[in-house]
Homo-oligomer: A and B are copies of this chain.
Amino acid sequence: MLNFYPGPSKLHANIDLHLQQAITSGILSMNHRSMDFMQLYQQVQENFEQFYDLPKDYKVYFTSAATECWTILAQSFPNRSFLHLYNGSFGKKWMEVSKQLEVEHTSVVFDIHGELPVTEINPDTAAEIVCTTLVETSNGTFLSKDIQAAVRETFSDALIAVDATSALAGLSVTWEHADIWFASVQKCFGLPSGLGILILSPTAQHTVEFRSKDIHYNSLKRIVENGASFQTTHTPNILGIYLLAQRLKEIDVTEFFNRNERMNYLYNHFSSHPSLQPLIIEKSVQSATVLTLKGDEEYIKQVKKSLKAQDIIIGSGYGVWKENTIRLANFPAHTDEDFKKLLLVI
C-alpha cells in the first residue's frame, strides 16, 4: 500500500527500528515523573535546537493534538482579542473554536489564489493574538517567509500564533516569525498519530506566566510550569515522544530543498495534465507539502477508483472542494519512487 493522504500518511522510513528501540530501552514503562522521562523530554528540546535551529529560549511542550492547541489558546487567553487570518477549512475551524469559547475575535478571510494581504488589514483591528495557518492542509496553500515576516512586523505587539500542521518537519521555518507554534506529528514528521507539539517564544512564555487564565489542567500556565522541569500536565504519549526525539535527528535542510523541487515538478507536471489541474493558480502560494488537484467530478471519481485498485491512497477534497479535487501529501516520508508509481496511474 502506498499512502499519499495528507496525514496520517506514510510512516517515516525508520519507524520500525525506532519502535523496537523504544521497547528495548524500557522508556515505555517509565512513569512521566521519572528522571528517564525528563531526560527524554529534554532530548526533544535539544534535538529541536540542534537539528531544526530552534532558538534555545523557545521551549517545547506536548499536547495530545493540534486540535487541542486551538482550545488551549482560547481557554488560556479568554480576555484577549484574537485575529484569525485564513483561507481554508482548518483556519476556519480554529476561528470557530475561538468563537464557541466566546473570546473576542475578528476574521480576515483571504483568497486562495493570492498572498495573505497583510497591508490591507485595518491596522486598528483588535489583535492581541494573531492566528495564522502556515500550510492550509485543506487546499495546499502556505504563507511564504516574506508574508510571515510581514505579519510579525505589522502586529509587533501581538502574540503571533501559527498552526504549523503539515509544515513542521516539512519545511524550513524562521522561529522568530512567531511566538506560538503547534503541530501534530502524523503529518510531515511521519509518526503515528496521537501527539501534539507546542512551542513558545520567550515573549509567549512570559505572557503565559503573568497574564493568562489558569483554571484548566491543560492551561498554558500549567503546561509552561511543568515544562520548566521537563514534565507534563498529564500522562503523555511517551512512545510518541520517544519516536519524535529520534525523528528530529533526521531533519534535513537538503531534504527540504529537494522536496520543494519535487513539488515544483509536480505542479508543472499537472499544469499541463489533460484532466487534473493544480487548484491553486498562483504558484507562489503553493506549499511544498500538500498539492490539491482539481478536475471534473466524474474524472475524480474514476481516478480514485483506479488508485484504489493499485493500492494507492490519496486524500479526498476537503470542504467546498470535496467532490472535485484530490489532495496529495508531499511529505519527507515520500520518495521519488513513490511518486513515479503514482504518476503511472494519474
Contacts and interface: CB of A to CB of B under 8 A. Distances in A.
Interface residues of A, number: 49
Each complex incorporates copies of this chain amounting to 2
Contacts of A237: 64, 192-195, 237, 240
18 contacts: A3-B29, A8-B28, A8-B30, A9-B29, A28-B193, A64-B237, A65-B234, A65-B235, A67-B217, A68-B217, A70-B217, A100-B216, A186-B235, A192-B238, A193-B236, A193-B239, A194-B236, A194-B239
Contacts of A34: 5
Contacts of A89: none
A28 B238 CA distance: 17
Contact of A192 (B16, B28, B31, B216): B28
A194 B240 contact: yes
Q: Which 6 A-B pairs have the closest CB atoms?
A: A194-B237, A64-B64, A192-B239, A67-B234, A100-B215, A193-B235
A167 to B, nearest CB: 16
Residue of A29, A67, A193 contacting most chain B CB atoms (<10 Å)? A29
A59 to B, nearest CB: 21
Contacts of A147: none
Interface of A: 1, 3, 5, 7-11, 15-16, 19-20, 23, 26, 28-32, 34, 64-65, 67-68, 70-71, 97, 100-102, 184, 186, 192-195, 215-218, 233-240, 315
A195 B29 CA distance: 14
A8 B30 CA distance: 6
A311 to B, nearest CB: 10
Given A8-B30, A8-B32, A68 B192 contact: no
A32 B1 CA distance: 17
A8 B26 contact: no
Contact of A11 (B28, B71, B184, B240): B28
Nearest to A333: B29
Given A28-B192, A67-B235, 8 more contacts: A5-B31, A8-B238, A10-B29, A64-B234, A67-B217, A67-B234, A68-B218, A184-B235
Contacts of A16: 23
A235 B1 CA distance: 21
Contacts of A233: 67
